[in-house]
Amino acid sequence: MVVKYQYAEPTFSAKGTQMRDILANYIAVVSRRLPDDVTSKLKELAKVEVDPLQELIYDTMKENQLLAEKMKRPSCQDTGALQFFVKVGAKFPLLAELNDILKSAVYRATKEAPLRHNAVETFDEYNTGLNIGNGIPSVFVDLDGDSDRCEMYVYMAGGGCTLPGEAMVLMPGQGYEGVVRFVMDRMTSYGINACPPLLVGVGVATSVETAAMNSKLALMRRVDSVSPNANAAKLEHLLEDGINNIGLGPQGVGGRKSVMGVNVVNTARHPSTIGVAVSTGCWSHRRGLINFDADLNYDLPYNKGVEL
Site residues for another protein per CB under 8 A = 52-53, 56-57, 60-61, 63-64, 67-68, 71, 73-79, 114-118, 120, 126-127, 129, 159-160, 172, 175-177, 179-181, 184-185, 187-188, 192-193, 195, 231, 234-235, 238-239, 241-243, 245-248, 250-254, 282-284
Residue 161, φ and ψ in degrees, nearest 5? -120, -75
| Rg of the chain taking only CA atoms, in angstroms | 20
Q: Residue 208 CB, nearest distance to another protein (Å)?
A: 20
Q: Residue 236 CB, nearest distance to another protein (Å)?
A: 11
Q: Which is nearer to another protein, 163 or 208 (CB)?
A: 163
Q: Residue 184 CB, nearest distance to another protein (Å)?
A: 5
Q: Which is nearer to another protein, 37 or 78 (CB)?
A: 78
Q: Residue 12 CB, nearest distance to another protein (Å)?
A: 27
Residue 138, strand partner residues: 83
Closest CA to 259 of 285, 234, 233: 285
Q: Which is nearer to another protein, 41 or 97 (CB)?
A: 41
Q: Residue 258 CB, nearest distance to another protein (Å)?
A: 9
Q: Are 246 and 188 in contact (CB under 8 A)?
A: yes
Cis? peptide before 196, omega within 30° of 0: no
Residue 298, strand partner residues: 292
What's the CA gap between 212 and 247, in Å, rounded?
26
- 158 CB-near residues (< 8 Å, 6+ apart): 76, 78, 80, 282, 284
- 123 CB-near residues (< 8 Å, 6+ apart): none
Q: Which is nearer to another protein, 10 or 175 (CB)?
A: 175
Q: Which is nearer to another protein, 137 or 196 (CB)?
A: 196
Q: Which is nearer to another protein, 13 or 60 (CB)?
A: 60
Residue 296, φ and ψ in degrees, nearest 5? 70, 20
Q: Residue 157 CB, nearest distance to another protein (Å)?
A: 14
Strands 150-157 and 287-292: antiparallel
Q: Are 117 and 127 in contact (CB under 8 A)?
A: yes
SS3 call for 73: coil
What's the CA gap between 15 and 97, in Å, rounded?
10
Q: Residue 231 CB, nearest distance to another protein (Å)?
A: 5
Cα 211–213–214 angle (5° rounding)? 65
Q: Which is nearer to another protein, 63 or 295 (CB)?
A: 63
Q: Which is nearer to another protein, 88 or 186 (CB)?
A: 186
